[in-house]
């Protein structure tokens, strides 16, 4: 895992590779950025627990709600109950678990998403949870 430090902040990479996720400690406020896909649950859970120790996860920031960034959101919410920060336009996707899937950049990935895409989108449904959304004005 990568680690970066500044005067008031420590950033730890908790998922590395195609899907990146980061745990930020800012003066004792722990912030998770993205949750990764379902297949990475054991790894991200283990890395987060190791870094958090007895501390609580305060916030979860989702850069966007595609499955490869948000598929573990329900598990994170159940385990840590953080406030969720996401762009307002993504709220309905999280509530209903129907985030649009990227079509890919070529015919092959477009075909894969058309045929198999629905299978990737089952674990983001937050309809049974109480969500707290803090809106971002724009994606950066």
Can you give 65-116 as a three-state secondary structure string? CCHHHHCCHHHHHHHHCCEEEEEHHHHHHHHHCCCCCCCCCCHHHHHHHHHH
pLDDT in tens, 93-108: 777 666 666 666 667 7
pLDDT in tens, 69-99: 888 888 999 999 999 888 877 777 777 666 6
CATH 2.30.30.90 fits 3-136, yes or no: no
Using the predicted structure, report yes or no on whether residue 114 has a pLDDT greater than 50: yes
**Domain regions of the chain by residue span:** 3-136
Q: Closest by alpha carbon to 65, among 130, 125, 114?
A: 125
Let me know the angle formed at the C-alpha of 8 by 15 and 53, rounded to the nearest 5 degrees.
Answer: 50
Range with lowest mean pLDDT among 43-47, 57-61, 90-94? 90-94
Q: Closest by alpha carbon to 104, among 88, 82, 120?
A: 120
Put simply, whether the predicted model's pTM sits higher than 0.85 gets the answer: no
Which residue, chain included where needed, has tokens 């058309």? 114
Quick one: pLDDT band at residue 6, thresholds 50, 70, 90? confident
- Give the integer Cα–Cα distance in Å for 119 and 106: 20
């Amino acid at each position: 895992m990568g680690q970066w430090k500044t005067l008031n902040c420590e950033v730890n990479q908790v998922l590395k590779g195609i899907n990146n996720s980061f745990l930020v400690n800012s003066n004792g406020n722990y912030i998770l950025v993205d949750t990764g896909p379902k297949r990475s649950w054991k790894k991200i859970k283990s890395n987060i627990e190791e870094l958090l120790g007895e501390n609580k996860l305060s916030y979860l920031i989702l850069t966007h709600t595609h499955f490869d960034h948000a598929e573990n959101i329900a598990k994170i919410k159940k385990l840590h109950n953080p406030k969720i920060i996401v762009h307002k336009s993504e709220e309905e996707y999280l509530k209903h678990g129907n985030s649009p899937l990227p079509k890919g950049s070529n015919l092959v990935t477009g075909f894969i998403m058309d045929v198999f895409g629905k299978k990737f989108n089952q674990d983001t449904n937050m309809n049974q949870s109480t969500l707290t959304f803090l809106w971002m004005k724009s994606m950066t």
